[in-house]
Every structure is written in structure tokens, then in C-alpha cells.
């Protein structure tokens, strides 16, 4: 058994994680703030080519 953790801050997820789609795959985060962080990180990575 693996514990699901937030893709942004690595804290443990509860029963209702937030799902966010990044680069075609879905990841789960603990809160809206972490979802936003991942989206921004992905967007800036694309800008750099
Ligand atoms: Zn988080």
C-alpha cells in the first residue's frame, strides 16, 4: 500500500484530493494553492521550450 501524496508539497492527501491535469496526465494535490503552483510550473516550462 502506498500513501497518496500531494504532487506539489508531498504532504499526505485526504479522501478528497484535488485533481489537476498537467501535460496530459492527472496528478493529485492537497489544495487549490498546490494545484495552481503545478499549473504555473508547467506553463513556464513550456515557455522555455
Ligand atoms: Zn500540497
pLDDT, mean of each 10-residue run, the chain (49 residues): 89 94 94 96 81
Confidence at residue 22, expressed as pLDDT on a 0 to 100 scale: 92
Q: Is 34:8 a contact under the CB 8 Å cutoff? A: yes
Confidence at residue 26, expressed as pLDDT on a 0 to 100 scale: 95
Give the three-class secondary structure for 30: coil
Confidence at residue 1, expressed as pLDDT on a 0 to 100 scale: 63
Cβ contacts of 42 within 8 Å, gap of 6 or more: 22, 23
Distance 29 CA to ligand 1 centre (A): 5
CA distance 45 to 2: 29
CA distance 40 to 33: 11
Confidence at residue 31, expressed as pLDDT on a 0 to 100 scale: 96
CA distances (Å), origin 8, targets 23, 27, 28: 15, 9, 9
Domain that holds residue 14: 1-49
Confidence at residue 2, expressed as pLDDT on a 0 to 100 scale: 75
Distance 45 CA to ligand 1 centre (A): 20
Distance 19 CA to ligand 1 centre (A): 11
Q: How many folded domains does the chain comprise? A: 1
Confidence at residue 38, expressed as pLDDT on a 0 to 100 scale: 94
Confidence at residue 3, expressed as pLDDT on a 0 to 100 scale: 85
Amino acid at each position: 500500500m502506498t500513501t497518496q501524496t500531494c504532487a506539489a508539497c508531498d504532504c499526505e492527501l485526504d479522501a478528497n484530493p484535488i485533481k489537476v491535469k498537467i501535460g496530459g496526465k492527472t496528478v493529485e494535490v492537497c489544495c487549490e494553492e498546490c494545484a495552481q503552483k503545478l499549473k504555473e510550473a508547467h506553463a513556464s516550462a513550456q515557455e522555455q521550450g
